[in-house]
């Protein structure tokens, strides 16, 4: 599907992939899995419910 087709259909040209995992690894299922994935990846931030986890070297916004 082209993103413009999505925008025409629903009025928003953005899509969010809600699965959390690295290539060839199982999907994250627990908070511990999520933290392990964060610190083993290039991601700098992780939001779990109402908690923001930020790596120490992540930029300030």
Which candidate, 17, 60, 20, 61, places its Cα nearest to that of 41? 20
Q: Answer yes or no: pTM beyond 0.85.
A: no
Query: Are 45 and 52 within 8 A, CB to CB?
Result: yes
CA 4 to chain CA centroid, Å, is: 22
Mind listing the pLDDT tens digit for each residue in 1-55?
577 887 888 888 787 777 888 888 899 999 999 999 999 999 999 998 899 999 9
H or E stretch including 54?
strand 51-54
- Phi, then psi, of 32 in degrees rounded to 5: -65, -45
pLDDT of residue 51: 93
pLDDT of residue 5: 83
């Amino acid at each position: 599907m082209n993103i413009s087709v999505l925008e025409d259909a629903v009025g928003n040209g953005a899509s969010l992939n809600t699965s959390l995992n690295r290539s060839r690894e199982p999907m994250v299922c627990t908070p511990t899995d999520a933290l392990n994935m964060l610190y083993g990846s290039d991601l700098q931030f992780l939001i779990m419910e109402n908690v923001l986890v930020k790596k120490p070297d992540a930029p300030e916004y």
